[in-house]
Amino acid sequence: MGMCTHEPAHSSHPSRPATRPVRPYLRQFCDGRFGAGDDGFSLVELMVALLILSILLAIAVPTFLGTTATADNRSAQSNLNTALVDAKAQFESDGQTFFVNGVQNAPGMVNLLTGAQLSLAFHAGSTGTSTTQGSSGNLSTISVAVSSDGVGLVLGAFSVPGNCFYAVDNGGALSSAATGVPPYAGRTAVTATPRTAPAGTIGLPTIPGTSFVEVKGDTIKTDCNAYSPKTSGPPATVQYLTSGFPN
């Protein structure tokens, strides 16, 4: 028998010694342990638990989304830098020009970059503004444009949070003719300080060297086009830096 067995204090059997009575505190223990109870959560307890859960979600979800957005931006920037390294190698091997076979040929540059980076997709921006033609619809698809004089190259990548990044590499001073036509002919110049951009095309940096452009807060994927970069207006802002992508 277990320790909680209840037996009478006196035995009627002459040869069987009397058992000791169960002590009160032990009886309470046994009754609480083996008795059938109706215990459960009260409505107040459930409401408190839901309140705590909602507070935790309110803290965790924005943090998770912010972390995801940062990771997407960094991935888009990294893909542009990778493509830029390959394009600059092509620039050097072709005699200091982004021309392919001696002519302005963005589709030809796309083919060369695709052969170097099979993990990325490349679109010639001049072929159209849809995300299946010339625009970048995601961080692993790069839109490509070449200046009319072969000195400049523009690469664009769209990030999921609604940002478009451009890597603009000008191997020297652009000709006056090249600065008057796409991809540099936008009406709103991108400056080194953030500015709110009206709807329409943006003018990419024409200074020699590499510039890193961010169009922030524009969720229209087709706007992210290296040949005709633009915004859909406020709240989108534009900025460029020469030291790296704006944060």
pLDDT, one tens digit per residue, over 27-40 is 555 555 545 455 66
Q: For the segment 188-247, what is each residue's pLDDT rounded down to a tens digit? A: 999 999 999 999 999 999 999 999 999 999 999 999 999 999 999 999 999 999 999 997
Domain for residue 14, yes or no?
Answer: no
Domain for residue 23, yes or no?
Answer: no
The phi, psi pair for 159, rounded to 5°, reads -105, 145
CA 135 from chain center: how many Å? 18
Range of the domain at 174: 50-241
**pTM recorded for the entire structure:** 0.75
Q: How far is CA 74 from CA 110, 155, 158, 165, in A?
A: 22, 15, 11, 10
Domain for residue 39, yes or no?
Answer: no
Domain for residue 12, yes or no?
Answer: no
40 vs 109, more confident: 109
* Number of structural domains the chain divides into: 1
- What letter does residue 125 receive in the DSSP assignment? G
Q: For the segment 125-162, what is each residue's pLDDT rounded down to a tens digit? A: 999 999 999 999 999 999 999 999 999 999 999 998 89
What is the Cα–Cα distance from 81 to 230, expressed in whole angstroms? Answer: 21
What is the Cα–Cα distance from 238 to 200, expressed in whole angstroms? Answer: 12
Give first-to-last CA distance, the chain, whole Å: 74
pLDDT for residue 1: 47
Instruction: Report the DSSP pairing between strands 141-146 and 121-124.
Output: parallel
